[in-house]
Amino acid sequence: MEYKQFVHDTEALVFSQDFKDLEARLESRDPNLWQILNISRKEVLVSQFLTWILNPKSQHSFEAQFLRRLVIETLRVDKGAHTSLSPVEIAVMDLSEAEVKAEEWLEKRRCDIVIRSPKDGFLCIIENKVGAKEGDEQTKYYYEHSFSKFPIESYPKRVYIYLSPDGAPAKCEYFVSISYQAILTVVKELLSECQITETERFLFLQFQESVKRSIAMDKDTLDLAQAIYETYGPVIDFIYENALKSDSQVSDKVWDGKSWFFNIGDVGETPYSWDDSKRYSFICAGGAKRYRRIMENFKPNDIIYAYSSGSGYVGIGTVIKTALPFREAVLDDGQTKLIELRQSNQLSGNYNDTQDDDKCEWIVLVSWEKAVEKSEAVRLEPIVPSTASRVYDHRKPLIEKVRQGLGLKK
């Protein structure tokens, strides 16, 4: 990179509004006990803290609210391949007598967290991953052996949760995969809605900040960082490589100019719908200027690797038209308007059609080479935990596994 170009791009980065917003989000002057004690990524200790919050009999003001809301948040992500429970069923359960234990033995292996409520016939097993990957058939083992220790006759209402920083799918399809975003969502809700002591507020805010710093930033911050990188990637790479590596170690990322990872956004408070995207051949993002820029990056003939959080890769397709606001989007037949489909209740997702281009949803039409139900997703890790990213060449082995998993040739 030439000196003048480097100075120009660096100044543009430093003085951009997005960079200032990111600085404001990351700035934290308060000390954090998890960080001071170097335990923020100690999986056993994080599980112990979660066990304390989840236990309605613990010495806190939440009773069964954290437990109930986390399970509801999980079921909002996906009921899972074999989970018949609904959020409404959990909402009406008592759960006040639920027993919550960390490091519970199931035959020869220990589960991170086991929750059982004989009164409600409810069982929940949580496998928590902070840094490590899932062991060999670990979740499958927990699922199969849970029936020996906790018979189906006594616990007919069951949910299995695989908790990880990015919501990577568990190897066992019976586990519903969620990310630490779900934990942050529930903590945020309870902090704003519940009357709690100052000590409880301190403990929760410390835990919340530790999760954001060391395990999983909130999705808005991740998307903001990703948007900055998409715009200023070359100068960021140049600074990083020359600050931390010798010349012999520098290796530029190679991108084919068309391949993109895209999280379809079908979880959260206002989810889109993969069923809509699959049926009507589009992808969607919006609600802020950075999402508009993400969508405007896509051009005809770009390749989209579609990912559903907690499930895996659900589709591969080719962009056929550049981005349009939801209110203007027309399907490839040239006649059907998405806004009309929503008005006639033929769309199940949430889509904002405001006149403000920086707040509305943006639509990109895609011709799916292969698109499957979430239950048939290729259960591999996401390339990034944020909305979208270029697929660089070093990801080719992963992408090849995705193609093979979807039954496609090279």
Q: Which residues contact 138 (CB under 8 A, 6 or more apart)?
A: 109, 127, 171
Closest CA to 128 of 147, 150, 103, 99: 103
Distance CA 163, CA 167 (A): 7
Q: Could you list the residue range(s) of the whole structural domain that residue 16 is in?
A: 7-27+217-252
Query: In this structure, are 221 and 327 located in the same domain?
Result: no
Per-residue pLDDT at 98: 94
Last residue of a domain, one of 205, 227, 252: 252
Query: In this structure, are 115 and 236 located in the same domain?
Result: no
Whichever domain contains 357, its CATH number is 3.10.590.10
Residue 119 has pLDDT above 80, yes or no: yes
Query: In this structure, are 232 and 268 located in the same domain?
Result: no
pLDDT band at residue 250, thresholds of 50, 70 and 90? very low
Query: In this structure, are 156 and 259 located in the same domain?
Result: no
Query: In this structure, are 155 and 48 located in the same domain?
Result: yes
169 found inside a domain:
yes
Per-residue pLDDT at 249: 43
- Greater confidence (372 vs 246) lies with 372
pLDDT band at residue 58, thresholds of 50, 70 and 90? very high
Last residue of a domain, one of 252, 271, 303: 252
Question: What total number of domains does the chain contain?
Answer: 3
Task: Put residue 299 in one of left, alpha, beta given phi > 0 → left and psi -120 to 50 → alpha.
Answer: beta
376 found inside a domain:
yes
Query: Exposed/middle/buried for 157, CB within 10 Å: 0-12, 13-18, 19+?
Result: middle
- Each residue of 92-112: pLDDT tens digit? 999 999 999 999 998 889 999
- Each residue of 271-322: pLDDT tens digit? 889 999 999 999 999 888 888 988 999 999 999 999 998 789 999 999 999 9
Distance CA 146, CA 127 (A): 13
Mean pLDDT, to the nearest integer, of 154-159? Answer: 94
Q: Which residues contact 157 (CB under 8 A, 6 or more apart)?
A: 85, 89, 120, 121, 122, 123
Last residue of a domain, one of 227, 252, 277: 252
Query: In this structure, are 196 and 125 located in the same domain?
Result: yes
309 found inside a domain:
yes
Question: In this prediction, what percent of the chain has a pLDDT beyond 90?
Answer: 47
97 found inside a domain:
yes
- Each residue of 22-56: pLDDT tens digit? 777 766 667 888 988 889 889 999 999 999 999 99
34 found inside a domain:
no
